[in-house]
Structure formats: structure tokens, C-alpha cells
Amino acid sequence: MYKRLIFGLLPVGVMGLLFYFSSQPYEEQNLRPTMNLYLPLELLRPIVEPISFSYHGEPVSVATHGVDGLIEFFIRKGAHLTIYCLLMVTMFLALDVNTGWKRSIKLMTGFAVTVLYACFDEFHQSLTPNRTPYIGDVGLDSVGALVGIIILLLFHRRFR
């Protein structure tokens, strides 16, 4: 009984965490002041200076964002991948404990719910000051969910 409840609440907790972070304006999540205070960012300049690409139609590089901005960009996008991977895994575990469905159905349902939540999250960001929704982030979140599926399948293969 408690196991079913706890596993059922895991994805709800991850969704709550995502909702909380999406509710914060960018200024409250700005990592640059802390990075500049504690990290020797100029030592990283030679490593990150060659990195240059376009995201959401805007150039992303040291020239446009600075060393701190480029590193923050990668931290933020890495967080997208990680948290949606976690959402996928917890969603699968909740379905695994609370349903008798086939593994493939649990994986597909978990993936669908994760991607739908990513869509909701981007909409929610559109209502938050100084935050912009971007469909590309839903794609990134979906990749995180796919990584979660791969982890689950590898884990199942290893321990079955």
C-alpha cells in the first residue's frame, strides 16, 4: 500500500519541482553572479571560446554570452535533460508499481506524459515574467525522456 503511494507520488514531486522552477523569473535563477564569485572563469576561456552555434535563432558563443553565460547555458540545458530523464524514470516506476501493464505500454505512457508535461511547462513559462517559451526546449526535454527510457531498458537488461 505505502509502496504504491510513494512510487505514485515520485513523478508528482518531480512535476512540482519543475513547476516551481518555471514559476521563477530569470533573475531569481541567474547563476552568473555565483559562478563569477567562486569559479576562475577566465581559465576556461581557451576551452569554451571555440564553441559557437545557434539556438532559438540566436547565436550562442563567448562573444555573445561571455564565458559565464555560455557555461550557464550548458548548465540550464543539462538541467532540462536531467530533470526530464528523472521524470520519465519516476513515471515509469509509478506505472510499474501501480499497474499490471506490459513494459512497452508503461514506457510509451511514461514518455507521452513526460512530453505533455514538457509542453505544459513551456506554456507555464510563457506566463512567467522574463521567461520565454521555446518549442526547442520541448525537444530537448523529449531527448531527456528518451535517455530515461534507455537507462530503464539497460537496467532491465542488466538485472532481469
Q: What is the pLDDT of residue 9?
A: 97
Tell me how many domains the chain contains: 1
User: Grid coordinates standing for 117?
Assistant: 508535461
Q: In the Cβ-directed half-sphere of 92, how many Cα atoms lie within 13 Å?
A: 24
C-alpha cell at 155: 537496467
pTM of the shown model = 0.93
Residue 22 domain-assigned (yes or no): yes
**Hey, which residues does 76 pair with through a beta bridge?**
none
**Per-residue pLDDT, 22:** 92
- Domain assignment of residue 134, given as a range: 2-31+78-159
**pLDDT score at 136:** 93
Residue 138 domain-assigned (yes or no): yes
User: Does residue 111 form part of some domain?
Assistant: yes
Residue listed under C-alpha cell 571560446: 49
Q: What pLDDT score does 127 carry?
A: 92
**Spatial CB neighbours of 35, under 8 Å, sequence gap ≥ 6:** 41, 68, 71, 72
Indicate whether 151 belongs to any domain.
yes
Q: What is the mean pLDDT of each run of 10 residues along the chain (160 residues)?
A: 94 97 90 91 93 93 95 95 98 97 97 98 92 93 98 90
